[in-house]
Amino acid sequence: MSSVSKADRKAALDVASWFFNVVTSVGIIMVNKALMATYGFSFATTLTGLHFATTTLLTVLLRWLGYIQGSYLPLPELLKFVLFANFSIVGMNVSLMWNSVGFYQIAKLSMIPVSCFLEVVFDKVRYSRDTKLSILLVLVGVAVCTVTDVSVNLKGFLAAVIAIWSTALQQYYVHFLQRKHSLGSFDLLGHTAPVQAASLLLVGPFVDYWLTEKKVYAYDYSVISMVRFL
């Protein structure tokens, strides 16, 4: 009886986690797209830095509450992860800025076959025939959407490609670091978020100017715009 109850609780927790993941992921995409397209804040790198600054404050709170424990992550591995992660999240936001939400979401599906490819290359994983057919179906769907979506342009497509590969590398490296150093997801976030926030906010204005030829400091930072950010 207890095992059934434990299984039910785990299933309920899994469903709640998936639902929360979907809602928050879609929500932040819609908010980011509104900030960029509707309200003119076309500074994806700086925006990402602001995201991670907020995340850093959250990790401080989680550490104070005891959800993040003291752990060790070597500096070279931390910097390597931050490099992948910064390319990933900035690439995603630039892709969102230059592409439609629909193509952005469809392009993200390409991370599935890319992640599988990395596991085959680095971990010698072998997938079943059914899994290979599923991956092929994903690739066909992505190809159809890429060809038929009239809003796709060269720079948006390149941003999506960079985002997909860097995100797949980041996800693979997350699992690698968690296994190697016995880190939980919050523990790893406690190491990486401050470094990502500092690096992105430092280089963000320069990268954004290179991408958009607009200065982040010239944006109209009124009370209304700050409310939109919050």
For residue 150, pLDDT over 80 is answered with no
For residue 145, pLDDT over 80 is answered with no
How far apart are the C-alpha atoms of 2 and 4, rounded to whole Å?
Answer: 5
pLDDT at 8: 78
Average pLDDT, the chain: 83
Spell out the alpha helix ranges (H) of the chain: 2-33, 44-65, 75-98, 101-108, 111-123, 129-148, 154-181, 185-212, 223-229
CA angle centred on 213, ends 211 and 29, rounded to 5°:
50
How far apart are the C-alpha atoms of 102 and 83, rounded to whole Å?
Answer: 27
pLDDT at 211: 82
Span 49-100, pLDDT tens digits: 888 898 899 888 888 888 777 788 888 888 888 888 888 888 888 888 888 7
Rg from Cα positions in the chain: 19
> What is the average per-residue pLDDT within 23-33?
83
> What is the average per-residue pLDDT within 139-151?
73
pLDDT at 35: 84
Which of the two residues, 226 and 217, has the higher pLDDT score?
217
> How is residue 35 annotated by DSSP?
I
Provide the whole-model pTM: 0.69
Q: What is the dihedral of CA 218, 222, 224, 225, to 10 degrees?
A: 30
How far apart are the C-alpha atoms of 223 and 138, rounded to whole Å?
Answer: 44
Would you say 160 and 51 are in contact if contact means Cβ atoms under 8 Å apart? no
Residue type for position 78: L
pLDDT at 3: 55
Span 158-209, pLDDT tens digits: 888 888 888 888 888 888 888 888 888 788 888 888 999 999 999 889 988 9
pLDDT at 149: 65
Q: What is the dihedral of CA 105, 106, 108, 111, to 10 degrees?
A: 160
For residue 4, pLDDT over 80 is answered with no
pLDDT at 36: 82
How far apart are the C-alpha atoms of 124 and 122, rounded to whole Å?
Answer: 6
Nearest CA among 196, 201, 202, 208 for reference residue 80 = 196
For residue 148, pLDDT over 80 is answered with no
Q: Which two tokens stand for residue 99?
A: 């592409």
Q: Which two tokens stand for residue 108?
A: 């993200």
